[in-house]
């Protein structure tokens, strides 16, 4: 189903090392790198504005492919610089009033928490956290009760947190939120590219994402999905610019109709072409094949890591994904260096990325390992051997 030989040929970095940091930034397929390089080479000789004019039709492809990824329409997609940028643009569109409540989860991304705390300080908002179930995901009954009790303006959920393999029930959450008059902002930064995210099924008003992670696109690029409902309600970023609006009289502008009202005029078209290639590449393989392949790899990894003494697997939630976290003796720096010395890329996550979760788990940091479909079973075996060596 997955042509692994071809995929690994397209991923030359695979030959040199074991890359288990796809939740940080994946290895890009060479098609993605070439698209960016080719576009920049044309800009070099023809000029940036002129190249964008000449390639206007091809550049539009980005929106169509991103819409296929999310099962929506091209009009619902904005190109941004990263997931945090997307999240903050969505947030800035909401005209919060003093006393408004925002519901969020214990596992929301730290920058999202920081933005919300900053908003809270400036606009006198109230942040209320939804409880987790004993298995670790959002408690849907508590969500329902808090929606009833607080009538929040916004519910913010990170589909997959940065710091563990937990998958929040994004669709079930959306089904509950839609009964109330609250906006739903879904951070799908870690889920896009490894899990099927159907924007319509989630009932989300906004979905933020980034390209460099499981989507295997270039760094410095992201996307924002804006629902038809949010567009029709006239939601627009606070600092809308002349990409999203037209200045018509000295004190008036008219906003555009589609999600591009959330974009900036100045943007990297070279990166956009790379993102389009990354989307085509993913669609060519099929997200269901990717999900199935990753589940196999992760099953093997967890099973074998679980047999090693003094390794504590940390991931919770009734659904989990291609991020595995564990505790091991030593410091973050020593452990990262140790794997690096064995040509394995891993990442460590600190408590400041998961204050509530790591406090509950009683840890200060964790090793984060995030294989993707282009990794192999033998790489997993090698990783486990190296981990055993470290612990012996
Ligand atoms: C869950 C989650 N949300 C948001 C982000 C932020 O993404 P970006 O760095 O592209 O802004 C990350 C990055 O790791 C993440 O893991």
Give the residue carrying structure tokens 């008219």: 254
β-sheet bridge partners, residue 313: 326
For 280, the 3-state DSSP assignment is helix
Phi-psi category of residue 104: left, alpha or beta, with phi > 0 → left and psi -120 to 50 → alpha:
beta
From the CA of 276, how far away is ligand 1's center (Å)? 20
Of residues 303, 297, 345, the one with CA closest to residue 321: 297
Calculated CA dihedral for residues 210, 213, 219, 223, nearest 10 degrees: -20
pLDDT tens, position by position, 135-155: 999 999 999 999 999 999 999
Q: How far is Cα 111 from Cα 208, in angstroms, rounded to an integer?
A: 13
pLDDT tens, position by position, 159-215: 999 999 999 999 999 999 999 999 999 999 999 999 999 999 999 999 999 999 999
Q: How far is Cα 321 from Cα 302, in angstroms, rounded to an integer?
A: 11
Question: Does residue 163's CB lie within 6 angstroms of at least one atom of ligand 1?
Answer: no
Q: Say whether pLDDT at 391 is over 90.
A: no
Q: Say whether pLDDT at 33 is over 90.
A: yes
Q: What is the largest CA-CA distance in the chain?
A: 73
Q: How far is Cα 23 from Cα 346, in angstroms, rounded to an integer?
A: 10
Q: Say whether pLDDT at 392 is over 90.
A: no
Atom of ligand 1 nearest to the CA of 222: 10
DSSP symbol at 195: B
Mean pLDDT within 376-387: 98
Q: How far is Cα 11 from Cα 27, in angstroms, rounded to an integer?
A: 7
Whether the pTM exceeds 0.85: the reply is: yes
Question: Does residue 222's CB lie within 6 angstroms of at least one atom of ligand 1?
Answer: yes
Question: Does residue 109's CB lie within 6 angstroms of at least one atom of ligand 1?
Answer: yes
pLDDT tens, position by position, 153-168: 999 999 999 999 999 9
From the CA of 109, how far away is ligand 1's center (Å)? 7
From the CA of 162, how far away is ligand 1's center (Å)? 7
């Amino acid at each position: 189903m997955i042509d692994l030989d071809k995929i690994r040929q397209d991923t030359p970095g695979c030959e040199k090392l074991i890359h288990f940091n796809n939740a940080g930034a994946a290895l890009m397929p060479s098609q993605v790198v070439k698209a960016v390089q080719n576009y920049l080479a044309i800009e070099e000789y023809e000029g940036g504005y002129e190249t964008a004019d000449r390639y206007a039709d091809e550049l539009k492809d980005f929106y169509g492919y991103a819409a296929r990824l999310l099962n929506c329409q091209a009009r619902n997609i904005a190109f941004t610089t990263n997931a945090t940028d997307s999240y903050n643009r969505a947030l800035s569109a909401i005209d919060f009033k003093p006393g408004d409540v925002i519901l969020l989860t214990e596992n929301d991304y730290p920058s999202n928490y920081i933005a919300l705390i900053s908003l809270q300080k400036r606009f006198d908002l109230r942040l209320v956290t939804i409880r987790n179930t004993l298995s670790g995901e959002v408690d849907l009954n508590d969500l329902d009760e808090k929606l009833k009790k607080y009538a929040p303006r916004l519910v913010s959920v990170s589909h997959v947190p940065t710091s563990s393999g937990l998958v929040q029930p994004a669709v079930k959450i959306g089904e509950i939120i839609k009964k109330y008059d609250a906006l739903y902002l879904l951070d799908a930064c870690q889920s896009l590219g490894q899990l099927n995210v159907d924007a319509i099924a989630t009932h989300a008003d906004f979905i933020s994402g980034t390209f460099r992670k499981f989507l295997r696109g270039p760094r410095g690029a992201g996307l924002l999905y804006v629902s038809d409902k949010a567009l029709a309600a006239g939601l627009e970023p606070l600092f809308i610019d002349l990409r999203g609006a037209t200045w018509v009289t000295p004190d008036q502008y008219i906003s555009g109709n589609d999600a591009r009202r959330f974009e900036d005029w100045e943007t990297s078209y070279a990166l956009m072409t790379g993102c389009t290639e990354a989307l085509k590449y993913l669609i060519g393989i099929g997200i269901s094949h990717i999900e199935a392949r990753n589940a196999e790899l992760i099953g093997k990894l967890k099973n074998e890591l679980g047999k090693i003494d003094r390794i504590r697997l940390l991931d919770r939630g009734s659904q989990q994904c291609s991020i595995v976290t564990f505790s091991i003796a030593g410091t973050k720096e020593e452990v990262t260096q140790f794997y690096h010395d064995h040509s394995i890329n891993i990442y460590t996550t600190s408590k400041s990325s998961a204050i509530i979760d790591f406090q509950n788990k009683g840890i200060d940091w964790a090793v984060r390992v995030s294989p993707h479909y282009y990794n192999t079973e033998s790489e997993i075996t090698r990783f486990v051997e190296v981990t055993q060596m470290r612990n012996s």
